[in-house]
Amino acid sequence: MYPEIEPHASGHLDTGDGNLVYWEECGNPDGKPVVFLHGGPGGGCSSSHRRLFDPSAYRIVLFDQRGCGRSLPHASVSGDLSLNTTWHLVADMERLRSSLGIERWQVFGGSWGSTLALAYAEKHPDRVSELVLRGIFTLRSSEVDWYYRGGAANIFPDLWEKFMAPLAGLDGDPVELYAKLLASTDPSVHGPAAVAWSTWEGATVTLLPRPELVAEFAVPEYALAFARIENHYFVNNGWFEEGQLIRDASRLAGIPGVIVQGRYDVATPAVSAWDLHKAWPGSELVLVPDAGHAYDEPGILSALLEATDRFRD
C-alpha cells in the first residue's frame, strides 16, 4: 500500500435533515478525483483506506456514511435510522461532489461499498469516470439469505452457533429477530446482540482467521452502530427492487470498471461478481484464487492497487 498520509482538508457536510456527514481529502489537491465508499453499511473509513491510491496523482475523498464513523448523530447513540437509506447516501454523495467542485470522480467501493457504488453510478453515470469494485454485494434476497439465514453455516457452523446465541428460544427470521433486539433501549439486550452480529462478519471475512480483526468488530460502540445500520438496510432490502442493481447494469456501459473478487469469499460469494460482470458491458473481472472477502488480503489488495494505478492517468 502507499505510505500513510494525513488529510489536508476535512469537515462535516450538513445534509439539511439533521445529519452531519464527515468527509476528508488527502493526496494531491489538483489530482484525479476519487471517492472511497466503505463497507457495512455502518463500517466507517480508516486511515488505511487512504493508502489505496497514489497520493501524488489522486485527489482522494473519503467520507463516513450516515450514522457511523465520525458522522453525527452516531447510531450507537441514536436509534432513529428513518433518514438513513441507500438513496439518502446517494444524495449525500452528490451533495459532497458538488460542494467540493468535482465534475466527475472515480468511485471505489468494496462489499456494501460496491452496492452503494453501483446504486450511485446507475443513477448518475455521467458523474463517474471509472468504477473499482471489490467483494460484490447487491442485496439480492439470495445474498442475504446465504449469509444471515443459514447458508454460510455450512462452512462456519461453530461461528454460526455464536451468531445465533442471542436468539436462543426465539422463533423466526434471524434478520427480523435481530432487528428487535438491536432496537431495544436496554443495553443488556442490544449490547450482546450487536457484538454477536458484528463479530460474525469480522470472523468470516478473511480466508484465514484474524483474531485482531474480530476484536475490532467487537468494540461495543462500533458494533452497535455497525449492527443497527446493517440490519436496518437488510430488513428493508436496501430500498431496491429485487435484483435491481444487476438488472440495471447496462446503464454502466461506457464506464471503465474492474471487479475484484475473492474466489473463497463467504460473505459475498463470487456468483454476484460473475452476474454483474456478465451484465455490465466492458467490465473486467479479476477472480483472486486464494482470497476471501477482506480488501487487505494480499491477492485482493494487489489487484485493487493495480486497478487504481492503471486508472490514475
Out of 71, 76, 265, 272, the active site residue is 265
Let me know if 111 is a catalytic residue. Answer: yes
Let me know if 250 is a catalytic residue. Answer: no
Out of 111, 114, 272, 283, the active site residue is 111
What does the DSSP assignment read for the chain?
-PPP---SEEEEEE-SSS-EEEEEEEE-TTSEEEEEE-STTTT---GGGGGGS-TTTEEEEEEPPTTSTT-BS-TTT----TT-SHHHHHHHHHHHHHHTT-S-EEEEEETHHHHHHHHHHHH-GGGEEEEEEES-----HHHHHHHHSSGGGGT-HHHHHHHHGGGTT--S-HHHHHHHHHH-S-HHHHHHHHHHHHHHHHHHSSSS--HHHHHHHT-HHHHHHHHHHHHHHHHTGGG--TTHHHHTGGGGTTS-EEEEEETT-SSS-HHHHHHHHHHSTT-EEEEETT--S-TTSHHHHHHHHHHHHHHT-
Do 43 and 68 meet the contact criterion of CB atoms below 8 Å apart? yes
Measured CA to CA, the distance from residue 188 to residue 93 in angstroms comes to 36
The set of cell numbers assigned to 132 is 473499482
Please report where in the chains the cell 461478481 appears, as a residue.
Answer: 273
Let me know if 49 is a catalytic residue. Answer: no
Measured CA to CA, the distance from residue 101 to residue 20 in angstroms comes to 19
Cite the active site residues: 111, 265, 293
